[in-house]
Structure 1
Amino acid sequence: LEQEAGTEILLQVGALSIGTETQPEMVATRETIDTFGLPHRYLDTEELRKEYPQHDVHDSDVGILDPQGAGLRPEVAVCSALRLAEANGVRMRYRCAVEAVEPGDNGVTIRTAQGVVRARTAIVTTGSWATELLPGVRDLVHVQRLALSWFMPADIGRYLPERFPVFMRDIDDVHFFGAPSLDGYSVKVSPGHLDLPSAPTLAELPDLPDDFGAHLAAQVTDFFPDMNPEPVRLTAHHEMFTADRVPIVDRDPTGSIVAVAGLSGHGFKLAPTFGRIARELAVDGTSTLCPREFTLAAHRQRAAALA
C-alpha cells in the first residue's frame, strides 16, 4: 500500500512487550515465538532498564522485543486504500446513511439516504453500528467504550521512533499500549482492559466517567515517571465486541449477506485478511481462510455452553 500510494504508512520501529514472565500476554507471546520460530530478543530486568530507560521497569518485569513489529498510521492507511480502490473502479458513496439491508429471493436490497442499491451479495462491516443492520448478531455482541490518550514527557528525544518501539505493557490488571512520538511533543500511551462502560447497542452506550482522566493519569505515571500526568489529548471511541473476542465472519442464512462484526479491536490491524475472507464468502460462497470459530453457528454454540 505504501508503494502504490507513495506515502509513509508503516513505522518499522519494532514492538516491545513488557510484563512478568507468568503474565498471560507474555506467555502467549513466547508460545507464538516458539511455535512459528519468529525472530525476537528476550531482555531480562536489568537489560530492559538499561536499553529502555523510558519505562519504569519493576523488579519482576522482563521484555520481549519483536524486531518485525511495527506501527501503522491508520488514517493515512484508510485514505490511501480508499483512493486506490476508486482508481481501480470502486464506486464510493460518502456521507451516505444506510437505512436497511434487506435480503430477498434474487439478492439483497440496500436502502440508503441517496436511493436504493440492489446487488447479488452485500458485505456488511459497520463496526459499532452492526446491530442496526444485522439483527442476527444482536444476541452475540456488545458495544464498549474505548479511550485513546497522549502524554507529554520531560524529554521528547527519548521517545522518538529511532529510540522508542511501539509497546504493550502490563502491571497487575492494568494494560497500556502505545507508539513513539510523531508530532515532536507527545507520546501515545493508551489504556486497555479497563472497566469502561458497555451496552447492548451504541445508542445505549454511556460516556466516559467524569473522573476517568484523573484515574488514567495516576496509572500512566506508574509506567512512565517522566510523563506529565495531565494528558495533552484524550479521545473517546467505541467498538463492538463478542463475549470471547472471536470475530463474527459468516454468510447469513439467506446467503445474500456476509456479516463481519464484533472484531473486538482487531479489525484495522487485520483488515487485509478480513477483507479477503469477506470477498471470498461473497463471491465463492466459502473461504479456506475462515475458521469455523468465526461462524454464527459456532458463536451460538459457545454462548449456549456458557449459559
Structure 2
Amino acid sequence: MPVNGWDAETAVIGLGAWGSAALWQLARRGADVIGVDRFAPGHAWGASHGGSRMFRITCLEHPDLVPLARRSAQLWRALEHDSGEELFVRSGGLLIGPPDGPITGGTLRAAEAHGIEVEILSADELGERYPLHAAVPRGHIGVREPGAGIVRPEASVRAAVALARSAGARVLTGSRVTDLVAVPGGVEVVTATGTLRVRRAIVTVGAWLSTLLPRLPLETVRMPICWFRPATGTGGDGGDDSAGSRDSAGGKDFGLDRFPVFMREAGGGQVLWGNGRENGHDVKLGLEYGGGGFRPMDPEDTDRSVGAEDWTELARLLAVCVPGLDPVPARVAVGLFSRTPDGQFVIGSPDGDPRLIVAGGCNAHGGKHALGIGEALADLATGGETRMPLDFAHADRFPA
C-alpha cells in the first residue's frame, strides 16, 4: 500500500547489469525500493547477456574508470559471497597490439598511472605462451593483466535481484515503462498496467534509454556475438575416441586457461576480442569497432535474426589470427547497447534534478563496471554524491 501517497522512495527502472546492482545496493542499505523491468532478470534482449563479459582494471577508455573497476572487483567478491555463486573468474587477460596503439598503448598508460601490475610479452613470447594466437606481427606486444578475467552477466543479474528481494526490495517484471512524469516531490512511473508514484527514479534501461529520455544523444546499436568450436583435426570435434581426443573435444585446447580473455588489434582498424571455452560455452568472439552486423537499431524491433554479414568479417580475421577454430560459428546472437558521441557513460541527474537519476550509454564496455556503477547510483539516491570520480560521465555534458 502507498505510504503518504508514495509507492516507494526509489524505483529502479530496468534491471540489467547496472539496474540490478543498484537495486541490490539500495536494498542491502534498508532503502524502500522497487525494481521494474519489462523482462525477467537475466534476459537476452539488451547488453547483459552472452555468458561472459571481459573484466580488467587497466581501463583504456578513461583514466577515471580505473577506480570504478577496482571497486567493482571488490563488490563482485561480495556478491559472490552473499549469493554463494561463482560470478567472477580470474584467468588473466591479454591486450595485444603495437606498443603505441589504442589497445596496448592505452593499457600501458592506465597501468603506469594507477600502479597496476602487468607483464609485457614480445611477439615471440606470446607465441610460446599462448600459441592459439597466431600471426602476431613482430613489432606487436602483449600486455598481460593477471587480475583480469570474466564476469558472468546473466548469473550476476539474477543473483543481485534475488539478494535485493531477500533484503526487502519489491520487484515487478513484465512491466514496460512508457513514460516518466515529474510531479511535485517525486516522479510518476507510467506502465501499461498502472502508475507508480515514487520520490525518485533511477533509469537504467540500457538500449531503451533514448525512448524514455529523448533529449540525451544516445544511439542504440545492434551488436552480433559469435561462438566458435575448434576445427576438425585441431583437437576439436570429430577426433578418435581416445582419452586425449575426448579431453580436447571437451574444450581443454581452447579452455579459458590456454585462451584467456583478450583484445587484439588485428589490422585495418579492427579489434578482435573474446575468451576461451568455460562453463559450458564455446569460444566467444566478436569485433570491437563495427563489422557488417553492427548498425543502429530501433530497440523496439524484435527481429533478432542473424545472417552471414554478422560473422563473415570476423571469420576472415580468425583464419589468420586464430586458425584453430572452425570459421563458421556454432552460434550467433544479437545484443543491443547504447552509444554516446564521446564513448563515455551517462550517469547523473539531468539539469541537477534529484528526482531523476539516469545511467546509460554503456558503449559496449559497461559490464565490467556494473557493480561499481550500481553502488554509485545508490549513493546518488541516498546522499546525492558518489564515492567514485564520475564527473566525466555527467548527463549534462552534452549541449541542449
Is residue 375 of structure 2 the alignment partner of residue 297 of structure 1?
no
| CA offsets 1:41-80 (integer angstroms, 9 cap, x no match) | 1111111110000111232321111111111111111111
Do the aligned residues in 2 keep the contact of 1:249 with 1:290 (CA within 8 Å)? no
Structure possessing the higher relative contact order (Cα contacts under 8 Å, 6 or more residues apart): 2
Q: Distance in 1 between matches of 2:176 and 2:219?
A: 22
* 1:69 alignment partner AA: A
Residue 305 of structure 1 aligns with which residue? none
Is residue 283 of structure 2 the alignment partner of residue 187 of structure 1?
yes
- Unmatched 5+ stretches in structure 2: 1-78, 236-250
Matches within 5 A, 1:180-259: 180-182=276-278, 186-195=282-291, 196-199=293-296, 201-203=298-300, 210-253=308-351, 254-259=353-358
* 1:202 alignment partner AA: P
| CA offsets 1:259-289 (integer angstroms, 9 cap, x no match) | 1121212332211221122222222233352
Q: CA deviation at 1:102?
A: 0.8
Equivalent pairs: percent with the same residue?
A: 26
Q: Distance in 2 between matches of 1:185 and 1:112?
A: 36
- Unmatched 5+ stretches in structure 1: 302-307
Q: Distance in 2 between matches of 1:87 and 1:74?
A: 20
* 1:72 alignment partner AA: V
Q: Distance in 2 between matches of 1:200 and 1:213?
A: 18
Q: Distance in 1 between matches of 2:227 and 2:297?
A: 29
* CA root-mean-square deviation: 2.2
Do the aligned residues in 2 keep the contact of 1:131 with 1:201 (CA within 8 Å)? no
Residues 123 and 112 from structure 1, CA distance in 2 versus in 1: closer, same or farther, beyond 3 angstroms?
Answer: same
Is residue 142 of structure 2 the alignment partner of residue 63 of structure 1?
yes
Matches within 5 A, 1:102-121: 102-121=181-200
* 1:127 alignment partner AA: G
Name whichever of 182-191 and 266-275 sits farther off.
182-191
Structure 2 counterpart SS, 1:89: coil
Instruction: Give the one of 123, 145, 149 matched to 2:202.
Output: 123
Q: Distance in 1 between matches of 2:153 and 2:140?
A: 30
Residues 288 and 162 from structure 1, CA distance in 2 versus in 1: closer, same or farther, beyond 3 angstroms?
Answer: closer
Is residue 372 of structure 2 the alignment partner of residue 273 of structure 1?
yes
Q: Distance in 1 between matches of 2:82 and 2:387?
A: 28
Q: Distance in 1 between matches of 2:193 and 2:280?
A: 42
Instruction: Give the one of 84, 91, 102 matched to 1:6.
Output: 84
Residues 189 and 199 from structure 1, CA distance in 2 versus in 1: closer, same or farther, beyond 3 angstroms?
Answer: closer
Residue 108 of structure 2 aligns with which residue? 30
Residue 19 of structure 1 aligns with which residue? 97
Do the aligned residues in 2 keep the contact of 1:141 with 1:200 (CA within 8 Å)? no
How many pairs does the alignment contain? 299
Residues 256 and 200 from structure 1, CA distance in 2 versus in 1: closer, same or farther, beyond 3 angstroms?
Answer: farther
Q: CA deviation at 1:197?
A: 4.1
Residues 8 and 200 from structure 1, CA distance in 2 versus in 1: closer, same or farther, beyond 3 angstroms?
Answer: closer
Q: Distance in 2 between matches of 1:128 and 1:291?
A: 21
Residues 183 and 121 from structure 1, CA distance in 2 versus in 1: closer, same or farther, beyond 3 angstroms?
Answer: closer
Structure 2 counterpart SS, 1:220: helix
Matches within 5 A, 1:124-139: 124-137=203-216
Is residue 195 of structure 2 the alignment partner of residue 98 of structure 1?
no
Is residue 286 of structure 2 the alignment partner of residue 286 of structure 1?
no
Residue 261 of structure 2 aligns with which residue? 166
Structure 2 counterpart SS, 1:121: strand
Residues 116 and 238 from structure 1, CA distance in 2 versus in 1: closer, same or farther, beyond 3 angstroms?
Answer: same
Q: Distance in 1 between matches of 2:395 and 2:271?
A: 30
Is residue 271 of structure 2 the alignment partner of residue 175 of structure 1?
yes
Q: CA deviation at 1:9?
A: 1.1
Q: CA deviation at 1:109?
A: 0.4
Is residue 263 of structure 2 the alignment partner of residue 263 of structure 1?
no
Do the aligned residues in 2 keep the contact of 1:217 with 1:229 (CA within 8 Å)? yes
Do the aligned residues in 1 keep the contact of 2:273 with 2:286 (CA within 8 Å)? yes
Do the aligned residues in 1 keep the contact of 2:347 with 2:390 (CA within 8 Å)? no
Do the aligned residues in 2 keep the contact of 1:197 with 1:206 (CA within 8 Å)? no
TM-score w.r.t. length of structure 1: 0.90
Name whichever of 101-110 and 150-159 sits farther off.
150-159
Q: Distance in 2 between matches of 1:94 and 1:158?
A: 41
Residues 297 and 39 from structure 1, CA distance in 2 versus in 1: closer, same or farther, beyond 3 angstroms?
Answer: same
TM-score w.r.t. length of structure 2: 0.70
* 2:331 alignment partner AA: R
| CA offsets 1:9-32 (integer angstroms, 9 cap, x no match) | 111110111112221211111111
Q: CA deviation at 1:131?
A: 1.4
Q: CA deviation at 1:252?
A: 2.6
Structure 2 counterpart SS, 1:129: helix
* 2:276 alignment partner AA: P
Q: CA deviation at 1:158?
A: 2.2
